[in-house]
Chain A
């Protein structure tokens, strides 16, 4: 087994644990590269089936191509898709002009919380990775959230030998992180090896491409000539810029992500 085989086997093991342990389980699909890899891993884990719904928290500020890609792939992969918007906040006019962190909190964190409450999810699968940013690096594979989706990161239960947290009070839920141990390069080399179709926003047009995908107003492009996955891999080998450098909400203050994630952000 090589490095990617090991990563894949571990992720499949985690997905199967989640499916076995949680009656109400859903997977967050942001249309980005990481959660699209996760979707692929789910197809492998369950031999072509996806035995739980996929959730897209739609802020309505997403880049339009993302919605088109989402609907096309959902049909192709034959998955059950839940699209949720925080209608209340949207009607009140929420947007990044009200403050980026406020907007993320309302449209993403609160939107997600509404989905959890509505569908009574016990387990939510998310495609976060430890190498993305500081607070994610401290995550557990099975990470508990209270009924308000809050994360008590100062008091996390031990997690060892792939014995995950599966006991918790009713009303709480578990965030399951099957690709926590992957890094950005792993994701791209895996996409290349498995030939997974990605949204084309990742590939350069007119000298620019997206390295990380989010909402249109808060996501910047990078200078790039990479038009294939292999070229992106080459580009990543030499870059010294952080993956999420183009994500405006991260840069709001030194602890932006920590604050957002404590309250239940992805």
Chain B
């Protein structure tokens, strides 16, 4: 049963149009005896019909149009094997207008061969493809310099190309592991070292590819389990999805983000008896049941509490654009990241990069087809993700314009100049609060104005400004964050704890929301009813926020509104 345990590696072959990608692949298939009997005959028949000599490239051009144009219009997947393992080889079109097909192919690859024509040298698409490899996070790449026969197998010319390409790729943080001079047409340096290039001391292509090492260690990364769907086919309520990183075990305490709820894994479900297991890890499509049956939905991330993903609605990305229409500001796009889908807008275009010259445009107002850009994206609601450098699977996304995927990108960073706010936090549990803001009636404006408190972060043990100019909370109270499902306990005017709402038990202390509104709860029974209403609100069952707020919230309980004659730019300092 060695076939079952054999390793498989996906390799994409990229490069400028006519630099010989299809010939290289055709040759690899031929030399590894991977072609079915019919294929060669069929292609020879076609070549004969067209009055052309047989070429290895024809093996790949399955479509009529391709053979007419002599270009590969889409990605093709072919397979061959060496002693070490099986390969799935992805041929990606080199023509500029087929960039979207090149990306579709390359996105599933673990390693890449970048083909350069020795005679023509580095061309526009050689560089663009190099750039895209870096954006796709494909670090394992060889540069294959083809058509060496056309330059008399010259070492000097080979070294020139190597140096030029290396400079370009290194600036993109792509470091090709090898440069291999070949002639695919004549079969030089494909299976055996060529006697035409005795100066080359490396391996021929077929031996060199066995040196690519497969990615390992996704299982050991922090757990990322995006919910794909929730099934209730029978009495089980199964949360289904694919584990993108890490390992999950029965009994694990898990955090569900961004709703911030904590529960435990009750079971890992299965149908076929052989699939029964107590733990599951990266790459597996699984289903679990949990102890607390919250309302879960597609898009939420399950992680371990101590290693939660980032939750934010604004972040920096690198992106390549393939849309027919330009990517512009002030327009809504759909962003898909793992199983999340959210409306988003371009917040700022920081830089547009010409992927060929690496020339940058700092004041661009749009991103055009085949451009690469650094932008800041604002999503309509908070989503979960990781920076690409920390986790590839949860750090990349696509953007949809109309019906089609038009862009792909990776999250490169968070926006550090966050809108300044006050927070109450304990380790990862953090709530943003507005309860220390002051409200004045401003004569000059004829209305009520909120003046934001100086942003401050309070952690456990910090003294809280319970009394301000226009508010006065008791010494002991609780703050509820509905969105994050957290409760902060203030005792003797100090932040004592921040806990999950699910862990909170009614303690007869007054509770306010993050805006400072008193919540009309004065008994355990009322607390129970309020909890039920919150859950209904969350599930969108009849109750609206207006109904809930008017029934339960009292804005003026701990506040008063004072008067100001002018609207002077005030900052309020805490009086602690």
Contact = CB atoms under 8 A, between A and B. Distances in A.
A156 interface: yes
B284 A9 contact: yes
Contact of B4 (A169, A189, A240): A189
Measured as residues with beta carbon below 8 angstroms from the partner, the interface class of chain A is 35 or more
Contacts of B88: 181
Interface string A157-177: 111110101011100000000
B49 A254 contact: yes
A9 B242 contact: yes
- The DSSP consensus for interface residues of chain B is mixed
B62 A137 contact: yes
B37 A240 contact: yes
B233 interface: yes
Residue of B45, B46, B234, B240 with most partner-chain A CB within 10 A: B240
Contact of A3 (B8, B271, B287): B8
A44 B400 contact: no
Interface string B80-102: 00000010100000000000110
Contacts of A135: 62-63
Contacts of B287: 47
Interface stretch (A10-18, A22-30, A93-101, A102-110): A10-18
Interface in B263-312: 269-272, 274-275, 281, 283-285, 287, 298
B7 interface: yes
B75 A138 contact: yes
B107 A160 contact: yes
Contacts of B322: 158
Interface in B1-23: 1, 3-8
Given A3-B6, A157-B405, A17 B228 contact: yes
A4 to B, nearest CB: 6
A193 interface: yes
Interface string B400-424: 1011111010000000000000000
B53 to A, nearest CB: 17
Contact of A242 (B38, B77, B398): B38
Contact of A158 (B36, B38, B104, B281): B104
Nearest to B287: A47
A250 to B, nearest CB: 9
Contacts of A75: none
Interface string B237-255: 0101110000000000000
Interface of B: 1, 3-8, 33, 35-39, 42, 45-46, 49, 62-65, 73-79, 86, 88, 100-101, 103-104, 107-108, 228-229, 231, 233-234, 236, 238, 240-242, 269-272, 274-275, 281, 283-285, 287, 298, 322, 334, 336, 396-398, 400, 402-406, 408
The 6 A-B pairs of least Cβ separation, nearest first, read: A134-B62, A160-B107, A242-B36, A12-B285, A158-B100, A242-B38
16 contacts: A1-B281, A12-B285, A45-B240, A45-B285, A47-B236, A49-B234, A134-B63, A156-B74, A158-B103, A158-B404, A158-B408, A160-B408, A183-B79, A189-B3, A193-B4, A255-B64
